[in-house]
Amino acid sequence: MAENQIAQKMADLEEEAIHQLIKNELAAGTDPLTLLEMLKEGMMGVSKRFENGEYFLPELIMAGELFKEVSAALRPAPGNNHEASLGAIVFGTVKGDIHSIGKEVTISILEGIGYRVHDLGVDVPPEKFIQKLRETGARVLGLSGLITSAYDGMKETVEAVVKAGLRDQVKIMIGGGITDERVRVYTGADAYGNNPSDAVNICRRFIGENDNEIRNNDAN
């Protein structure tokens, strides 16, 4: 089936083949959202290959750009909410840090497998994260940083989430090559990750935990 080929070619990063398959399927009347799901499946394959050491940062960057390029023509028009989402995530590089490459690659992977990510960019102050969390109702907050001075920005943002009364509703992950368990404890975050695969696994766990909490609260 051509749709399965799309997932495989996406995982293989075969750009020309993907474009041709998508073109053929659209001409044949295949639902664009079906094709988008196949691309997402392919992005999961990219993530697994990175996790297994078969792909590295250049492949992740290429995958992210390819996914954005191909999927742009397949997504519903603005205002059409038929596309399913695994959940909303607010993401950004914290105040005092302007590095973006790791964040952008991670967001590409997360979007590629079906999360709706609100990217606030770099050097983001705590209050901007709070505003976006309230606007979107996102239950996961991703804080990125690549320099040690970002530790304090992460800590300040977590504290701001607490002061805003959102901490019980929002799971917080921190990421970047500088993060480890000690930094997680220092900042007050719930988890840390050093690569996009970590972020995928964390988001799956966090959103699943939140869903269970909501169901339990509704039952009480």
**Fold topology of 88-219:** Rossmann fold (3.40.50)
Predicted confidence at residue 108, as pLDDT, reads: 86
Predicted confidence at residue 21, as pLDDT, reads: 93
Predicted confidence at residue 217, as pLDDT, reads: 45
Render each residue's pLDDT in the chain as its tens digit; 220 residues: 566 899 999 999 999 999 999 999 998 998 887 888 899 889 989 988 998 999 998 998 899 889 988 887 786 554 444 445 789 999 999 999 998 888 988 998 898 888 999 999 999 999 999 999 999 999 999 999 999 999 999 999 999 999 999 999 999 999 988 899 999 999 999 999 988 889 999 999 999 765 545 334 444 4
Predicted confidence at residue 216, as pLDDT, reads: 46
Predicted confidence at residue 113, as pLDDT, reads: 87
CATH 1.10.1240.10 range(s) for the chain read 2-71
**Fold topology of 2-71:** 1.10.1240
Complete DSSP assignment for the chain: -HHHHHHHHHHHT-HHHHHHHHHHHHHTT--HHHHHHHHHHHHHHHHHHHHTTS--HHHHHHHHHHHHHHHTTTSPPTT---S--S-EEEEEEBTT----HHHHHHHHHHHHTT-EEEE--SSB-HHHHHHHHHHH--SEEEEE-SSTTHHHHHHHHHHHHHHTT-TTT-EEEEESTT--HHHHHHHT-SEEESSHHHHHHHHHHHHHHHHHHHHHHHH-
CATH 3.40.50.280 range(s) for the chain read 88-219
